[in-house]
Amino acid sequence: MRTALPIAAVAALLTLTGCTPADGAGGEDAKGAGEGTSASGAPGGALATLAGLPVKKRGSQDGYARDRFGSAWADTDSNGCGTRDDILQRDLEHTTHRGKTCAVTSGTLTHDPYTGGTIRYRRGSSKVDIDHVVALSDAWQKGAARWAPRKRIALANDPLNLIAVEASANRSKSDGDAAAWLPENQGYRCTYVARQVAVKQKYGLWVTRDEKAAMSKVLNGCPSEKLPTGGNPTEAPGRFKAK
């Protein structure tokens, strides 16, 4: 005859096995939420953090527009440079600038994260884009529609969520999440998914069941992948406005 475990013992067992109820448990939101998820992974790493993200259905795209996240490439960190130029300066090598300004006029993306190729950047005729790792439309459908404008502006300009990449790969991705699109460069997939997890954890965005399964499949192959940190605060300064 089996003996029922005390409540405290059950709780301890759940903690040890990594089993936790999904946020908004019940119905389809909870069904299969843990599919493909491993209980392993470094504490505080990408895989362990993914296990704690809320799982819900994708929300509506109604009301989404780019300007709901503020004007493009705002100087939210008040360093005198637009966000696009900040990321170009961070990710490119051998950069040149327009006079004494922040405007990056040329440089080299020596190892494009999405394709692995080398790309020359020239302002005005570039094959380099700045990608939102968590696409703004995806964020809108997974929590950002309910945010205050200054939080949306922060996400759109947070260096944690931005990387310089090959333009056609970025446009192929469009607003896809990890269930819909992963980089062609398989050696970058763990880093890419870990960054998506970090952004979603930082801003309190949820994942869908299929998205979580796709992320888990990648991160189970690199369970020690660290969670990237840093970036800007999750609220832009008061002078910035969005619709």
Which is more confident, 204 or 22? Answer: 204
Q: What does DSSP assign to residue 45?
A: S
Task: Indicate whether 73 pLDDT > 50.
Answer: yes
**Which residues touch 212 (CB under 8 Å, ≥6 apart)?**
33, 34, 35, 36, 37, 50, 53, 55
Per the prediction, the chain carries an average pLDDT of 87
222-242 pLDDT tens trace: 999 999 999 999 999 989 887
Q: Which pLDDT score is estimated for 36?
A: 41
Q: Which pLDDT score is estimated for 19?
A: 35
139-196 pLDDT tens trace: 999 999 999 999 999 999 999 999 999 999 999 999 999 999 999 999 999 999 999 9
122-132 pLDDT tens trace: 999 889 999 99
Give dist(CA 92, CA 108) in Å, integer: 5
